[in-house]
Structure 1
Amino acid sequence: MMEITAGATPPGGSWLQRGSHRDWLEAEGQRLLAFYRASRHPECGFAALDDDGRLPDDARPDTMITARMTHCYALATLRGVPGAAPLVAHGVAALQGALQDSEYDGWYSELPREGEAPSKQAYIHAFVALAAASAWQSGNADAKGLLDDVLKVIEARFWSEDEGGMREGFSRDWSEGEAYRGGNSNMHSTEAFLQLADVLDNPLWRQRALSIAEKLIHRHARANDYRIVEHFDSDWHEWRDYNSDRPKDQFRPYGATPGHAFEWARLLVHLEAGLLRHGESAPGWLLEDARGLFQRATELGWCVDGEPGLLYTHDWDNNPLVHERLHWPVAEAASAAAALHARTGDSTHERWYRCFWDYIERFMIDRERGSWWQELDHHNRPSNQLWSGKPDLYHAFQATLLPRLPLAPTMARAIAEGAL
């Protein structure tokens, strides 16, 4: 098991301050952007690529992928990457077109087949909001209408002022609500809300992000020894055995997910920075809980099963459960380490940052066929138990940007202001 101990900054100074490391991150980000241009679906939006970066003949436009691609290429547009703006326009058109429910409002998870009545999920709407905000910030005029539309749906259907968080899911016509509240959807809503606060210059969204963080992290994760509780009933009672028969669920797995602890640690640091930047009160627990989450995630997730890497989940007795190594948790771990190092100057986070990127370079990055492997098995060999192909640009690309950006404002606003 690999251990990181406190000590002086490693020789050569911080990677995070070195131009050569920043150049490496830039080159990797550009490589990822080039690979995922092929995910543009000819019908509308974007769809999942296979391992070789090809769009399968039966690929279907997917709303989550479309929103994430739109967000990423909007950031690329802001950075001056030629060819990115037309991809943003393609994504916005799909989110305002076939992927949007013109009869009942809201967004489908994917392009529906005839006769289907897909549900409406908070997770999807959080990413539509993120995409709309980034696209509008990047100069896409049509994105303002998309942003107005998704905010109306979030306000009317998903956000609960009484609960201080997001409701989870509804039937297509909104007549039936899901008796479940999810940590994953609320976490990504927090991410979207922080960006909305910056892009719209509206502190309401930052206060809503704080409300979610207080509920999920300061109230529940802290009381559970900084293990993220992901599943709740409609009254926000912890639902520990939810999906115990589906431990490898892609979005709602049983047990605790160290990758989400890293992601939350980063978001808490960004939230604190956003509050302070605008002269708003930032509770001290934001940094304290971010540190607690990061430390616990490394203890329970990193190299705990005899092999390098970050496992997907562990059970409530802290035993490894799903050993597969997905790409997004280690991407988030690197970003969280960078954020905590920027906030605290603690060299321990610098050491973790190097450790995570060394692992990514050794095991995750596919230099032969492009992008990153989305999943590795227990022995760090390519696997497809949870995910097949290479559908996701979002986590890896953000990991190449976040270490080079300030903690506040959020990415689209920071890049628009010339931070990168």
Structure 2
Amino acid sequence: MDFTQKSTLTSHIHNILRFYYPACIDQKSGGYRSGFSDDGTVTDSQTKHLVGTSRFVYLFSIGVLTDGPDWCRDVAEHGIRFLTEYHQDKENGGFFFELDGTHVQDDTKMAYGHAFVLLAASIAHQADVPGAKELLEIVDEVTEQRFWDEEHGLYRDEWDASWSVPAAYRGQNANMHMCEAMLTAFEATGKNKYLDRAYLLAKKVPIELRTKGGGMIWEHYTPDWQPDWVYNQGNTKDEFRPYGFIPGHQLEWSKLLLWLDRHRSEPWMLETAEDLYRNGWGYGHDAEHGGIYYSLSPEHEVIDTDKNYWVISEAIAAAALLGAKTDHDPYWDHYCQLFAYASEYFIDHTYGGWYTLLNEQNERYEGEKSVAPKADYHPAAACYQAILALP
């Protein structure tokens, strides 16, 4: 497969959609089913994760934008409806983090989750999905009022259900995805306030916080945004707050800086993007077996040798945007190398979709292909960014 061709990337996105559809539609409770075995058999109909629901909306909206199957818009609208009717807290505002069917399982208000609602509503609005514009306005207001910390120019991470008690934890991950959501909201609406916010976040995290981390972006921080070197120590498998320097997040920020550069180009964006890519690849790439290690210690030693599907996806996107911006062959070489690796080890050419996790030798772990909140958002998003980047 030639992933330097837009037609190949588009076909791959549509193959991902077909792996999940129609089994992902929950006709009983609404929303989407989130658990799937390798062959697409549903393994979990009950878990409704805010991030997972939003990622499915994103996935099928991308289907609309890439002229995919004619059911994509209806399937995206199905998710917008569930976000509005069940994930939304009608009493206190904001969105519940996890449901069991339609019953609230985790009522925490998480910036990470709200970032994905904003992303989903924005891309769905761009795809003319009914209800998306209204949802965009709702989540925009609550993220601004509840999560934005004007003093530090970054987003707080977490509140209780009634917005009474903020958590002390601060993290870069939620802010990274807020930056992605803001760029998407700008492209969907043309409103400069979203681009301004993405710009500010790109100055704060890849510049200021990276300096505090000694040249790489650390994950965890104290309330005054100093690195917390012991938070979650030893737990590199936390879905949203993994311990360590995460090479994949260096690469993901590299992608975001080049995405920002498309709309408001300043020299520091490319310089920082290349530096982040250089560190993410340099410390993370497994030269012997291929792929990218998951986590590094504060001293940049590899502490988690597993290969994760989303890391390869973000590396592909970063290489594509850097290649398009610089026209340097090494980035395109990495792009082709990474897609060849993904095609050999992560992409299921029989049933569709991507496997989640491999060990250092690229052997798969037992378990489901997809659990909440995966939804193959990362590879589909990487393909979409590559389509936009390719000449």
- Given that 1:327 and 1:375 are in contact with CA atoms closer than 8 Å, whether structure 2 keeps it comes out as yes
Q: What is the deviation of 1:321? A: 0.8
Please tell me whether residue 297 in structure 1 is matched to residue 285 in structure 2. Answer: no
Matched, 1:216 2:201: no
State yes or no: 1:50 paired with 2:36: yes
Aligned length: 383
**2:24 is the counterpart of 1:33:** no
Matched, 1:324 2:306: yes
Q: 1:164 Cα deviation (Å)?
A: 0.8
**Aligned-residue CA RMSD in angstroms?**
2.1
Secondary structure of residue in 2 paired with 1:382: coil
CA drift of 1:226 comes to 3.4
Larger CA deviation: 174-183 vs 360-369 = 360-369
The answer to whether the Cα contact below 8 Å between 1:46 and 1:62 also exists between their aligned partners in 2 is no
1:3-61 alpha-carbon deviations (Å, 9 max, x no partner): xxxxxxxxxxxx77x5xx33322221211111122222231212323223222255322
* Residues 96 and 146 in structure 1, CA contact (< 8 A), matched pair in contact too: yes
1:217 to partner: Cα distance: 0.9
Instruction: Pick from 81, 87, 96 the counterpart of residue 99 of structure 1.
Output: 87
| Contact 1:36-1:393 at 8 Å conserved across structures | no
Q: Which amino acid aligns with 1:48?
A: S
Kindly report which structure 2 residues correspond to 1:8-407, keeping only aligned pairs within 5 A, or say none: 21-37=5-21, 38-42=23-27, 43-51=29-37, 52-56=39-43, 58-81=45-68, 82-111=70-99, 118-222=107-211, 224-276=213-265, 282=266, 284-303=267-286, 306-383=288-365, 389=370, 391-406=374-389
Is residue 320–residue 389 contact of structure 2 (8 Å, CA) maintained in 1?
no
In structure 2, how many angstroms separate the alpha carbons of the residues matched to 1:176 and 1:334?
A: 39
TM-score (norm 1): 0.86
Could you list the runs of 5+ residues in structure 1 that have no partner in the other structure? 1-14, 277-281, 408-418
Q: 3-state SS of the aligned residue for 2:13? A: helix
- Per-residue CA deviations over 1:75-100 (Å, capped at 9, x if unaligned) read 21133321101101100100101111
Secondary structure, aligned partner of 2:80: helix
Consecutive unaligned residues in structure 2, runs of 5 or more = none
Give the residue type in structure 1 aligned to 2:276. L
The question of whether the paired residues in 2 share the 8 Å contact of 1:47 and 1:65 is answered with: no
CA pair 226-351 structure 1, distance change in 2 beyond 3 A: farther
Deviates more, 1:144-153 or 1:186-195: 144-153
Do 2:254 and 2:277's aligned partners in 1 also have CA atoms closer than 8 Å? yes
Q: What amino acid is the match of 2:338?
A: F
User: Does the CA-based 8 Å contact 1:222-1:289 persist in structure 2?
Assistant: no
Q: How far does residue 389 in structure 1 lie from its aligned partner after superposition?
A: 3.1
Cα distance change, pair 214–242 in 1 and its aligned pair in 2 (3 A): same
Q: Considering fraction of residues, name the structure with more strand.
A: 2
How far, CA to CA, are the matches of 1:114 and 1:93 in structure 2?
16
What secondary structure sits across from 1:383 in the alignment?
coil
**2-structure distance, mates of 1:227, 1:399:** 22
Which residue identity is paired with 1:50? F
CA separation of 1:170/1:182 partners in 2, compared to 1, >3 Å: closer, same or farther? same
The amino acid that maps onto 2:199 is L
TM-score (norm 2): 0.92
Task: Describe the superposition over 1:284-319 as per-residue Cα deviations: whole angstroms up to 9, x where unpaired.
Answer: 221111000101111111116x43221110111211
Q: Which amino acid aligns with 1:55?
A: V
SS state at 1:244 partner: coil
